[in-house]
Structure 1
Amino acid sequence: MGTGDATRMTVRRVPFAYRRETAAHWNAARPEFSQIVNSASLAMPYLEPYLIKTMREARPLITDADLVRDLDLYCAQESTHYRQHRKFNDELKALRPETIAEHESVLAEDYARLGRERSLRFNLAYAEGFESMALAIGHMLIEDREFLFGDAESAVTSLVLWHFVEEIEHKNVTFDVFKHLYGSHVWRIAGLVYATFHIMARTRRGYHALLKEDGLWKDFRSRLALARVLLRIFGKLAPKLLRILHPGYHPSKVADPSWMTAWVKLYETSADAGARLDTSRLHEPLPAALSA
């Protein structure tokens, strides 16, 4: 059976506009968190085309028409994600050209190698592992949005939250594709573990290089701030990741956060509303959390 989410998955064209001068430290109060997010963003133009390629390779093998429809919508959403991240990354790269070019070459080789050398089963397990992790991260970011994004640049905050609204929206697709074709709990967990450690290792490599170029990596106060934000993130994320390990886990059992559903309704009333969140009012209901 398909996920049944095709009626609510939407391919959105959100008109983000980024400011080059603040691209690196778009959250001035939390430069360490800025660079964590920046490092994750750098992976998107390589990770998400790999996910799309993997799903499209699986498509001819799927016998459920609803699931094929969901897969196509998933790929369309992921295409908009990596294109928006590339647009932001270009602004960031203008400020850190050598550091970012070197890191991007590592990411490009990683995902080219996985697509070239690994089986479809492995790549689908990786895709499902990433999407399960992304669902957990999306819930964490939305729950802790005031702390993580309060008073930060609107465009980057809006980009990240839009991205994870849609990660939550298409949460079932890779799970159902993997189950439809392989259905192995052991392989699913192996994909989760591999994807989680691979992505986190590459994210750490990226923010280490960016903070080092900032001159913050050897600054004691900055390293302490980094440790604190990482402990906070992983403290909130760990229970959400652990539930994925259960043999009876299905992402459809994870209820959508109310803020996410409010964002979806907001977009339906104004196509560009999601691009202009007021980060000083993230604790308020969404219609009030728009920039003037």
Structure 2
Amino acid sequence: MTVPYRPLPQDLSDVRYAHGPDSSPRPGVPRGVTTAWRLDAEAYPGTSRTVWTHVPAGLDPDRPAAVAVFDDGWWYLDPDGDVRGAVVLDNLVAAGAVPPTIGLFVDPGVREGPEPVNRNVEYDAADDRYAGFLVDEVLARVGREHRLSDDPAHAVVVGGSSGGNAAFTAAWHRPDRFGQAVCFLSSFAQMPGGNPYPRLLADGARRPVRWFLQAAHRDLGWNRPERNWFAENLRVAASLAESGHDVRLVVGDGGHSPQHAGVLLPDALRWALGHCT
């Protein structure tokens, strides 16, 4: 395969990538049905959140569906935003690029009080609470309404920034449920106690998970010796590669923005679920 020549931009901080054809509604592609529902999480007492279930058109109820879980639900679902997750899923399913896939767009919890958004508590932690929440509360409830595949090769968890931490950590703790993780501009640098994954991987920890990571040259703290988002993503990718994991790393220009992630999402989902078709 020959990649066409493109000159590198000289300003790395203010770069925008053009979306491809799978990021906009395509003529003749039927749209799936998106349903919003509220979840009061047992794993995070006192919080509630909105979850959107996106069911592709023509889903066969007698065949187990693949599943794609998206952190920061509305940011990744918004059809006018940068990522447009349901639009991408509809196009890929219709083209046969991925199997029939139910998308679950899960917002972080909110609560009453001076810090109403529970996002960083849920997403930046390295323990297994968020993974258990996704499996035992989100997937379990949707599984009562739709037949979901229990094969981890048919499930991917997706997130960006702190949501990238959450996606990585969910797959790390529950590889029996998530066989792929797509992590855009992960905020490993701000995890309480520091980024644990390079050390864990160096110490021999392995997971039967495939990893898609994105980093940006001008991410937060890109030229600092500490709390450097760019460097921490590179460290995780290198540690995965050195420990023999199946990892795909995409390094782009620009800053801490979901814009490049949205452009990459169709290819990331093809990579994650295309082998299931």
TM-score normalised by L of structure 1: 0.28
- The structure richer in strand per residue is 2
TM-score normalised by L of structure 2: 0.29
- The structure richer in helix per residue is 1
